[in-house]
A and B are shown apart, each in its own frame.
Chain A
Amino acid sequence: MNQKRLPIVLGALTILLVTVFILSLNMGVVKIAPLDVLRTLFGQGTEKQNLVLFDFRLPGMIIALVIGAGLGVSGAILQGVAQNDLADPGILGINTGAGFAVILYIFFFQESMARVTGFGLYILPVFALLGAFVAAILVYVLAWKKGVNPVRLILVGIGINAGFSAALIIFQVKMNPQDFNQALVWLAGDIWMSNWNLVFAVVPIIILMILYTIYKSSTLNILNLGDQMSIGLGAAVEKERRTLLLLAVGLAGLCVAAGGGIAFLGLVAPHIARRLIGPRHEQMLPVAALTGALFLLAADTIGKNIIAPAEIPVGIVVSIVSTPYFIYLLMKTQ
């Protein structure tokens, strides 16, 4: 049944995605009618339309799509590896670790967030990645006790998260008010730099990592069966688990670099995907990626327009929408 369902689900998600994409392009302080949007995309727009779409809106939206997909896949991997439906890069402290590294970078090397340009733009994702890996390694090592037990992994993650949050606060209160506000917006989850340079810096890597994860989906299927089963099936569990964790952390780190600390998306997207298509990863991962992309683009559009001209950071929209769902899941799972 699922075999037939996959094209339908993927098709429906794509149509939704394109619709939201065009709506999002059209909304904003400068409204551009949907037809004009299409015309501009195909190179027939006025100068002003070109400027608004290509220089301001499009890069941010592409980043939203890609990091939404990245977070969805990262969450799916973590849930598979931790064998816990409630795992998410935010809950495991990976987001906060990356956020901490980025705040450190800005605190020590840059005068303000607004001036991160040129070279810094490429350094920033590197710092976010480093932070994500440091957090992940800490969680992994501290959760290790003759192997990594899923419950321990989650609890240790929560602890590490609390630690990084405390460390963050020390630096945050030392910032000047303007930087502080920017840092807060960014930590809450915000696609903070919508320009093509950032698109080129992170998008290709994220896409490659997503594709590689889909390639590894059979391993995830095996890990999902539980340790004993998968050892029996001959998978080198700990090694595979580590590779997959590396992928999940790398994805989350890059997404944080581009979009700040967006929590709960990595949790919700795989769940919706499982509902739509079932648990097999070769089908679930693409659906999770599309769901994540759709979710984040929609949240971004809402955040930018609901109290326009002011903006709500996208991460806050995601959190407000998905926490009730998370709580519902929490109450339902054993």
Chain B
Amino acid sequence: MSEHANHSEKQQLEGLTSRYLRATIIFIIASFLVVFLLGVSISVGVTDIQLQTVWEAVFAFDSSLTNHQVIWELRLPRALGAALVGAFLAVSGAVMQGLTRNPLASPSIMGVTHGAAFALIVAIVFFPTISNSGMTISAFIGAGLGVILVFAVGSFSKGGLTPVKLALAGVAVGGMLSSLSSAISLHFQVAKQMSFWYAGGLAATDWVSVKILLIAGAVGLTLAFIISRAVTILSLGEDVSKGLGQNTLVAKSLGIIVVFVLTGAAVSVAGTVGFIGLVIPHVTRFFVGTDYRLIIPVSAVFGSLLLVISDIGARLVNAPYETPVGAITACIGVPFFLYLARGEGRGI
């Protein structure tokens, strides 16, 4: 009997290490792909630049060469911005899905991005002299507003946060905030500017944005790793979590801070880029299982991968014009959402 127990424990342990090993390998391969695609992303554009020049510009910068300047001032921050924003959205989505045990949870479905958009437009209209960092702060506040509203609607509901309720709460809060945004932007005639922002895009990413992203990432991603174990346990159910002596309130509050910091930063830089936060955690779970200690880092890299590819696509699909990157991620995200909604994924 005890031999048998030992045996199965050993098996479990082996299963665990093999899963860790597998996740690590996936993580490393995906990271290499991201780095390679960053190079590709930097090299394609109005004028194509050879990968070798990209390499030289990064590691042996020569300020007398125009190409080097273009790479350093425009394309490198943009590519890095895409990678970071993708990672942030994916991790936010993963944390949201874990905390709510809801497969449809994600920043774009849940009114978070609309909240940020609303705050931004208020800032632009009422404080026209606002600085870049001021705009970022207002996006943060708005994202927070969205998160709090949707979670509040969900948690005050009879029967709790079911997938349908969460989706509907997101639609309602998002709809309300975007109506207010359109009213303000129409009245103050900034609608066209807003639309570009709404469409999502990385064209305006500069080094300042990258700095903001790096700071937010340092806080948000670290916190996400810290709570990853708690999220795994919470994803098994509130009762299990309490039974194991976890303080679910602390884990949930920290989780909301993660979502709020990461989404706020992502949205303030790239506008509304939907579906990454929805799709990537599911794809990741398919590869690495249900342990959030693995899901969070791997989601981050997969998210980077998806947004860097989408951003390259945004520039190539209808060159020389840019297609809104949000539309490209939606092309991937909508069919996936429908697949989940049909109940063919797990959990609904």
Contact = CB atoms under 8 A, between A and B. Distances in A.
A184 interface: yes
Contacts of B341: 143, 152, 155-156, 158-159
A312 interface: yes
Nearest to B348: A155
Main SS of the interface on chain A?
Answer: helix
Interface in A163-189: 163, 165-167, 169-170, 172-174, 177, 180-181, 184-185, 188
Contact of A155 (B164, B172, B196): B164
A310 B187 contact: yes
A334 B169 contact: no
Interface string A316-334: 1001100110110011111
A326 B172 contact: yes
A158 B187 CA distance: 29
A142 B342 contact: yes
A155 B274 CA distance: 16
Given A162-B337, A320-B179, A154 B191 contact: no
Given A312-B183, A313-B186, A316-B179, A154 B168 contact: yes
Nearest to A180: B192
Interface residue tally on A, bucketed by range: 35 or more
Given A155-B341, A158-B167, A330-B165, A319 B195 contact: no
Interface residues of B, number: 49
A184 B341 CA distance: 29
Nearest to A323: B176
Interface in B157-196: 157-159, 163-165, 167-169, 171-173, 175-176, 179-180, 182-183, 185-187, 189, 191-192, 195-196
Interface of A: 86, 90-91, 142-143, 145, 151-152, 154-156, 158-163, 165-167, 169-170, 172-174, 177, 180-181, 184-185, 188, 263-264, 307, 310, 312-313, 315-316, 319-320, 323-324, 326-327, 330-334
Interface of B: 104, 109, 153, 156-159, 163-165, 167-169, 171-173, 175-176, 179-180, 182-183, 185-187, 189, 191-192, 195-196, 198-199, 274-275, 321, 323-324, 326-327, 330-331, 333-334, 337-338, 341-343, 348
